[in-house]
Structure 1
Amino acid sequence: MDNEYNRYYIKIRTILGINPKTIHEELAIALGSKAPSYPTVAEWAKRFREGREDANDDPRSGRPVSELTDENIELVQEVINNDLHSTDDDIIAETFLSHGTIERIIHGCLKMKKITSRWIQRKSTNASWVGEDESPTTIVRRGKFEPKNLFFIFFKSNGPVFMHAVDEGKTIDHNYYIENCLKPVVKEIWKQRKSAGTKGIKLPQDNARPHIHSDVINYLTEEGIITMSHPPYSPDLAPCDY
């Protein structure tokens, strides 16, 4: 016995003057756990006493139960086409469809699935929608341990003074720093400032071992270059190093 039959029973018993409590007890004896609750019986008995004839549910406002329409399918497809990385929440916000409807449209109608884009040598958290027969997007990215190019760049307020590219695999110690970086920089400064030379020149650098070695400090002092102290854990004071 479905809800409609239950309501017709409630209607007939109400017309006969039976109170809701007794009607509920009768339904409970006949249907057991499938019987409607007492508040439901009382509500429908009240409606029938007030003259209601129809025992069917009232029409529901809002969206119809079935939303797998061509219009909604095209709407979801358009949102995905505009942004392959859109999430379910994004699609819900754009279409105002329920989560279940969106899932049925994407997987059942559009035959699409959510995959994680593949990085080369590194995993990605990005994801995009693709068709079942399509391959995921491949994104090329430098590997973590792939060799990198290192440059020393010295500059003044009006532009670069000297740049040195470190050979691949080269170990940088204080001697390398003096011979390949500081001496060429001093030479270039004298070339640009023939009268003043290194007078008044200040060099900010971080606390890397080659920078703070005593030979480096002595060389800079001999050349008249003032070294600016660099507090530890303060990379923002030498942004060009990072």
Structure 2
Amino acid sequence: MNKENFRYYIKVRAALNIPASVIYDELYPVHGDQTPSYRTVRRWAQWFREGREEIEDEARPGRPITETTSENIEQIRLLIDDDPHITIEEVQEQTGLSHGTLQRIITDHLNLKKATARYIPKDLADFQRAERVRICKQNLATFQEGTWRLCDIVTGDDSWFYHTQIGRKSSNAAWVRRGDPPPTVVRRDKFAPRILFSIFFKSDGPVLIHPVERGQTIDHDYYINNCLHPLVDEIKRQRLSYGTSRIKIHHDNGGAHIHEDASKYLESERLTIIPHPPNSPDLSPCDFWLFDII
């Protein structure tokens, strides 16, 4: 069915005083995604009840579609290349083209879409980027060569956990009927109750979960005595025959993690420290995988 057929059906049903919601429910099971939206059905039903007879679109004033010329496309491309953050309203002011023409040129001809900037932990220098790649490749090669095994890796970090979780954006998605409002989730208050945990885990599950007392600062002494000591003891308990032999520990470059005393303690317990790229907390498995799931 084309749009005129849909409108004729709406016109007939509206003349019988059938509510718009019922008309939409009659159309959607038959025509699926081709069905006009509920808002469109309701609008046309209202117009027909008010006495409209025509089912064709009314002539619209404005500029013709011939505004979509190669010259205009090139002009808009140059404006966007010069300022990727420019708005459609600013382009409209500089070119004099209609909003619809700009939308058509940008999406259909230039194949562009507006994307929100992604926040990153730090703007790395060229050397830091190169070092980030080098260390990642070095670690990956060690696994591929069989020198390291995933089951021997212990990774850890600390993070705040709120008493009430609102879930990730994707987990809050829900199916709704066409025309119905989307679900809402109340934004978490910045003063909501929370607790700091230091968590270490392996490929087969958590090894140590340590709650940090409110107001406690995790300096190198606290990290060694309350995190690393219990971690090593737990590893030895789980591996009675091998102890810490062949165990590698991976944590980011936080001050307490890379302190000389912490490194000396891990080496004294025969734990190998996996190199971590500088200024790259986003590469810690806890941050990009575990904490997001929790």
With structure 2 as the length reference, what TM-score do the two structures score?
Answer: 0.40
Structure 1 or 2, whichever has the larger Rg, is 1
**Structure with higher RCO (Cα < 8 A, 6+ apart):** 2
With structure 1 as the length reference, what TM-score do the two structures score?
Answer: 0.47
